[in-house]
Amino acid sequence: MTATPDFRSPEFLLGHIRHTMAFYEGRCLDPSGGFFHFFKDDGTVYDRRTRHLVSSTRFIFNHAMAWRRFGDPAHQAAARHGLRFLRTAHAQPQGGYAWQIDWDGERQVATVQDGTNHCYGLAFVLLAHAHALMAGLEEARDGLAATFELMEARFWEPAHGLYADEATPDWQVGPYRGQNANMHACEAMIAAWDATREPRYLDRALTLATSITQRQAGRAGGLVWEHHHADWSVDWDYNRDDRTNIFRPWGYQTGHLTEWTKLLLQLETHLPAERRPDWLLPTARHFFDTAMQRGWDPVHGGLVYGFGPDGVVCDGDKYFWVQAESLAAAALLALRTGDPECWAWHDRLWAYSWAHLVDHVHGAWYRILTPDNRRISDEKSPAGKTDYHTMGACHDVLRGLGA
C-alpha cells in the first residue's frame, strides 16, 4: 500500500481519477460497439458480449466527465462511441432501452436477453445524455429531452410525485415501487438542469427529493426505506430473505442514506434562495449521522451495506460504492456546515478505502469485501460497476471545493 495522501487535496482527487481511469483505458472500449462490462482484478475481460444498460450508461458518464476535467479528445470520442451504442444496440423499437443484451460485434447484432424497462435504467440513460451534452456532444440534446418524456409518459405518477419502477417490454407497469430509481432520477434531473438550464428538470428533482425524503421517510421511521407497494405504502418484507438482488436489497441502505445526503446538499446549491426548503440541510444531516451511527463497523472499519428497522446490521459486507458515496457526502456536509467531525468522517472513510478497497497495483476499487475485509472474488468490475461511484465522488468533492 502506498503512503497515506492528503485526501482533501484537489491534486490527490485529480490523481485518483486518473489512476482509476487508467484501469479501464486501453481495455474497456470495444471498437465494434460500446464497452466491455466484465473485468477481473488485473483488468482481464472475462465476458466480451454481455452488455448491461447500467454499465453502458455509466461508461458514458465516466468519459464525459474525464473529457470535461482533463480535455483529452479521446475521452470525448469514447463518450460519443458509447452514446452511439446506447441509442442503437440498447434502444428498442417499442421505446425504452433493453436492460441486458448480447452483442455480436462481428455481425453488429444485439440480441435482447432482458427487455424489461426499468425506470432505474432510464434514469441513467437521462444522466448519460446530460453528461454527454455537457461534454460537447450536441447530438445528446434531443435524446435527453426524449428520455425525460419517455419517463413522463410511462412511469410518472403525479398523484404520488414519484416514478413507478419497472414495466414489461410492451410497457405493462408492475406493482413494485422503489426509492432507488427515484433517487437516481433525482441525480439525473440535477444533471439535466446543469446541461440545459430548463426549469422542469430542477422542479422534478425537488419534487422527487421531497416525496422520498419527507413523505416516504415519514412513513418509514424518518429514514429512506427501499421498497413500497403500488400505492406507495411501505413494503417492509420485500426481498427480506433474498440477498442476491443488488438493485433491490432489504433494509435501510447505509449508502443510499449518504447518497441522499449528497443530493440534498447539491439540490440546495442549485435552488434559488426563495425556493430553498428549510428541511434540506437538517434532513441531509440526519441521514448522514444515522448512517455513520448505524453503519460504521467499529471492529473492522468501513460502512456495512444495510441495517434493519431495529437498527441491527442485516448485511455486514463492505461495498465499494457505499464508502465512496459516504466520503463525498461527508466532504460536502463539512464544506456546508464547517463541522470538523464531518471532515473526520471523510478522512476515516478514505483511510479505510485506501487500505482495503483501492487497488494500488492495477487501479480502480475492489467491488465487495466480507465484514472482516477479505475479497469475495477476483471479479473487480462485473456489469454494473464502472467506478462511476468512486470517480463521481472525487468529481463531487472537487466541485464542492471549487476546484
- What is the three-class DSSP state of 296? strand
* Count of Cβ atoms closer than 10 Å to residue 228 Cβ: 23
Q: How far from chain centre, in Å, is Cα 90?
A: 19
Report the C-alpha gap between 208 and 20 in whole angstroms.
Answer: 31
Dihedral (CA of 317, 319, 322, 327) sign: positive
Report the C-alpha gap between 395 and 391 in whole angstroms.
Answer: 6
Cα torsion 272, 191, 137, 75 to 10°: value is 120
Q: Is 180 exposed, middle or buried (0-12, 13-18, 19+ CB in 10 A)?
A: buried
**Minimal CA–CA distance to 402: which of 335, 347, 327?**
335
Q: Residue 155: what are its φ and ψ, rounded to 5°? A: -125, -20
> DSSP character for 283?
H
**Longest distance between any two alpha carbons in the chain, whole Å:** 57
CB 78 within 8 A of CB 135: no
Q: Is 18 exposed, middle or buried (0-12, 13-18, 19+ CB in 10 A)?
A: middle
Q: Which residue has the cell 472499519?
A: 301
DSSP 43-63: --BS-SSEEEHHHHHHHHHHH
Active site residue 389: yes
**Minimal CA–CA distance to 122: which of 61, 52, 185, 170?**
185
Report the C-alpha gap between 119 and 123 in whole angstroms.
Answer: 6
For 207-224, b/e burial (b = at least 16 CB within 10 A) is: bbbbbbbeebbeebeebb
**Minimal CA–CA distance to 160: which of 120, 217, 207, 227?**
207
Q: Which of 90, 118, 227, 256 is catalytic?
A: 256
CA end-to-end distance (rounded Å), the chain:
27
Active site residue 19: no
Catalytic residues: 256, 389
